[in-house]
Structure 1
């Protein structure tokens, strides 16, 4: 279950939810296989229905046709309802079963940016609600299965339980200012704007890569020096609020000037469990619990409670901070070329890309899935590309491939990719080129335009005959590649986060290779 195709997933809404600090990637299957996921739910009587979707993940792009979905909730028949939300054609063959047909199919396509390696499709939504007969403490499951043309099928069983309805609201957003390397104190405030006492809750953090924790609280989870979440046992009476402060520090490699910061989303303990139970299924490793004292909360100022109690809906369960980074701290991206040798007919590997020489990390992680930069790879004359990296596209009527980068480019790291080139004709000193910060007319943005040392943005790919004229695979020069995103936390949540809603961050990418000739 969920071990092959679901590796890097993104956040729920603004804050996301921690699944694990890191995960070991699996090898992609030769043909796309589809694996479903349907999130757990905690429901309350007399509350608005919860909307859920079946997510379908695969190792590659595909379109599922003649899709049939079956929702089996007989273990909770009479206590919950499952109803279509998008007008699809559904029937109820028996109590506790809903069967829906999707005549338009499900398109499983790659999430942006190009080359993300994450292929996802989404089925039509359903609404899940507790009935008047549901009792506090009731629990059961929903077994969701699908069938499609060509024999594709799969199932996933999610847990459902009946709980109390509460309404959490976050404190106001705040602005701060600091230089790279400086410490910042962030307020953390939450209020109970419902009509039931809140008994324990969790704050889940979505912080930029540059925001580093300086404390290690025993009720908080961390990935290296990034704060992930904190769990609180405190009760919040109706109409009351609690607050504390977080001491964080900007990394010395923070880009300046820039705006950094993030969010905290507040959720009940049960809702947090609903969102994170899947981490064991995907093989995620546990985050690290702090070894210091507990992070505690005190009664919030009355002015905060009054503001948060004015017609606050469920969409206000988060708070956030913006840190204006002052000073100047730029980034130098330097192109990496390669020198290859081989005879006519040989296939050689060109390992090319760029290095972030710093001093600043370039962080473009955002909900628009923008690549931090783009790289042009121009093939040397006499060669043909037979395998190219995912994330690269041939520019029309040229021998140049445009390649999207990661969204987070850490200072001191190299980001390289492999092109497999067939030597059709040996031309002495045949030269191609690698150009980082290449222009791109991309919907989500172009390339990095403020490189502090543009003179090293270009490098060469040189192909020569192998001495002695021997055949074989040829040699690749240059340093060992460090490809992909860092294995630790990206953007302040976890190396593995689960997509369950709209928006959110694509926090890591898996670079693969595809055949072109």
Structure 2
């Protein structure tokens, strides 16, 4: 069955606290032994001394789906007495402080929890006090509880650092290349503050098509994708450093079109917080590259820096590039049908969907759009009794979103994931009950039905966009390209990139606008 985890992840990018399921999986796996346990995670955070601090919310989940009323979150920051003040920020929760160093917040409304971490509620502001100084550390213990459920706690490390203002250019680079072509784009760091910055880490969010042309030992990579680069250079106030990073477009890049890449600057201490967050979710920050050191050259600085540092204005840390893809490199999407046999009363499973015969991969990850529509007409003499939640009943060209996965309709529209590589198949499984045996009962699978997918304007071979679903075929009738394996969703999770994790960690607000550059109209 086609998974929709990645689509749910990307669809939630605009909501603070949208969190990939894998981030909760270690705790959930343990909780399975004791059903209806709660789980909670709160990010380690480095705050700049003398700043307004940062706002964050816990990520909450349950070992099994449950509706919770009166969910309570307790913030115990007594370990940070005199260093940090924790106060309610926004949301519908009601908060009180029963004693110094403790804040208790309760939400009066019903909340649906499951293995997906739920965030955006119980937001609090963590503000350094006037006594807070660079190097101070402490623990913020966050406990989530509800009546009838086992409570859970998580201790987050809170540090005080020196405030710096790392900045990236406000104007994105514009480059062009053909599939397989090489190009370079600037990676630029400026110190927009008054305090010297000791080191910086760039976090990359690159479309699938944009791949590194060279590896560096101070950068990390995963499955051929550039993830991070760490720099030890000291950058004085007002100084700017820059390097040209070499890239290459994949030969399977769709053309003509556009691809996008972005990077975000963090201080080393903030990157350490972010790395802890990734490790808690079972994610890798990548492996060091095999090559020389990538440097950020500029005029030598005479200043020095202190221990922990935190960025006072993270909204100016983002920049990137737009790659205009030239030439022509299309994709042939092929409808996958199936051939089934059974007697009256049997429930048979039709595995149907789409395959990409290339030569280009299709990647709509930045806009969260599916690559195509899959319309299914149920064969005569059968009833759809098992329907996945990625399929909606279809009436004419109107899909019924309120009844996703509802059995009994004659027609359905299903949506595959946001990325489909060359040779990849994406399928759904529809359980069909044979009400009456009709020889050569026929249904259809139609892809690209009135598709308004931005960036994919033409299927190379539209003649194979329709396949048959045959039940009890006779005389050698075939069902098209049936028999495909369902996809796992792992590739799309990879394509979504580290940028989504940045946002989920509370440091990627600027990324929301970037990922909404494209839009899918259903």
Whether these two folds match at TM > 0.5 is: yes
List aligned pairs for 1:265-280, cutoff 5 A: 265-280=264-279
Corresponding residue number in structure 1 for 2:425: 414
Q: Take 1:46 and 1:496, find their aligned partners in 2: how far apart are those partners?
A: 28
Moved more, 478-487 or 67-76: 478-487
Higher relative contact order (CA 8 A, sep 6+): 1
Give ranges in structure 1 of 5+ residues lacking alignment. 110-116, 302-311, 468-475, 507-517
Contact preservation (8 Å) 2:445, 2:469 = yes
* 1:457 counterpart residue number: 465
Q: Count residues with an aligned counterpart.
A: 470
Provide the rounded CA distance (Å) in 1 between the counterparts of 2:7 and 2:374: 25
Aligned partner of 2:251 in structure 1 is: 252
Task: Give the alignment of 1:31-42 within 5 angstroms.
Answer: 35-42=39-46
* 1:389–1:272 Cα change, 3 Å: same
In structure 2, how many angstroms separate the alpha carbons of the residues matched to 1:400 and 1:32?
37
Q: Could you give the per-residue CA deviations for residues 189-231 of structure 1, whole angstroms, max 9, x where no partner exists?
A: 1111111110111000001100011111111110122100001
Aligned to 2:73: 69
Contact 1:226 1:493 in 2 (8 A): no
Tell me, in whole angstroms, the C-alpha distance in 2 between the residues paired with 1:139 and 1:375: 54
3-state SS in 1 of match to 2:504: coil
Alignment of 1:134-145 (within 5 A): 134-145=132-143
Greater shift in the superposed pair: 73-82 or 378-387: 378-387
Determine the C-alpha separation between the residues in 1 that align with 2:132 and 2:76.
17
Deviates more, 1:337-346 or 1:22-31: 22-31
Of 436, 448, 465, the match for 1:437? 448
2:360 corresponds to 1:341: no
Q: 1:348 to 1:356 in 2, by over 3 A?
A: same
Q: Does 1:95 align with 2:83?
A: no
Structure 2 distance, partners of 1:132, 1:459, is: 69
Q: Say whether the 8 Å CA contact 1:37–1:156 is kept in structure 2.
A: yes
Instruction: Give CA deviations for 1:269-288 in whole Å, capped at 9, x if unaligned.
Output: 11111122033333334522
Q: Deviations over 1:372-424 (max 9, x none)?
A: 22211222122223322231112249511211111111122111122222222
Deviates more, 1:49-58 or 1:407-416: 49-58
Structure 1 residue 260, shift from structure 2 partner: 0.9
3-state DSSP class of the match of 2:260? strand
Q: Which residue of 1 aligns with 2:84?
A: 80
Alpha-carbon distance between aligned partners in 1 of 2:439 and 2:456, rounded to the nearest angstrom: 34
Unaligned runs of 5+ in 2: 301-311, 397-408, 476-480, 516-522
Separation in 1 of the partners of 2:7 and 2:392? 24
Partner of 1:372: 371
1:450 CA displacement = 2.2
For residue 162 of structure 1, the aligned residue among 144, 160, 163 is 160
CA separation in 1, counterparts of 2:323 and 2:248? Answer: 11
Distance 1:163 1:279, change over 3 A: same
Contact 2:370 2:417 in 1 (8 A): yes
For the pair 1:195 / 2:206, whether they are aligned, the reply is no
- The residue aligned with 1:470 is none
**Residue 177 (structure 1) aligned with residue 185 (structure 2):** no
Structure 1 residue 126, shift from structure 2 partner: 0.9
TM-score (normalizing by structure 1)? 0.81
Shift of residue 355, structure 1, vs aligned partner: 0.5
| Change in 2 beyond 3 A, CA 1:133/1:53 | same
Deviation at 1:360, TM superposition (A): 1.2
Structure 2 distance, partners of 1:243, 1:294, is 14
Inter-partner Cα distance in structure 1 for 2:243 and 2:138:
37
Q: How does 1:3-152 map to 2 (within 5 A)?
A: 35-57=39-61, 63-86=67-90, 88-107=93-112, 120-151=118-149
**2-structure distance, mates of 1:124, 1:487:** 30
The answer to which structure has the higher helix fraction is 2
Calculate the TM-score normalised by the size of structure 2.
0.80
C-alpha distance in structure 2 between counterparts of 1:6 and 1:219, whole Å: 30
Displacement after TM superposition at 1:499 (Å): 1.5
SS of the residue 2:163 aligns to: coil
Q: Deviations over 1:54-108 (max 9, x none)?
A: 2234678654321211111111122101111116421111111100121134355
Q: Is the 8 A contact 1:22 1:285 kept in 2?
A: no
Shift of 1:239: 0.9
Match of residue 315 from structure 1: 315
SS of structure 2 residue aligned to 1:451: coil
The match for 2:234 is 235
SS in 2 for 1:189: strand
SS at match of 1:56: strand
Cα 1:314–1:9, aligned 2, differ >3 Å: closer, same or farther? same
Alignment partner of 1:93: what SS? strand
Are the structure 2 counterparts of residues 389 and 118 from structure 1 closer, same or farther at C-alpha, using a change threshold of 3 Å? farther
Contact 2:25/2:281 (<8 A) preserved: no
| Separation of aligned partners in 2, 1:241 and 1:391 | 48
Query: Would the alpha carbon gap of residues 58 and 439 (structure 1) be closer, same or farther in structure 2, given more than 3 Å must change?
Result: farther
Contact 1:23 1:284 survives alignment (8 Å): no
Q: Distance in 2 between matches of 1:181 and 1:154?
A: 50
CA pair 55-24 structure 1, distance change in 2 beyond 3 A: closer
Structure 1 pair 160–8 and aligned structure 2 pair: CA distance change class (3 A): farther
1:294 aligns with: 293
> Separation in 2 of the partners of 1:123 and 1:318?
26
Structure 1 residues 382, 57: closer, same or farther in 2, change over 3 A?
farther
- Structure 1 CA distance for aligned equivalents of residues 138 and 9 of structure 2: 26
CA distance in 1, matches of 2:462, 2:434: 31
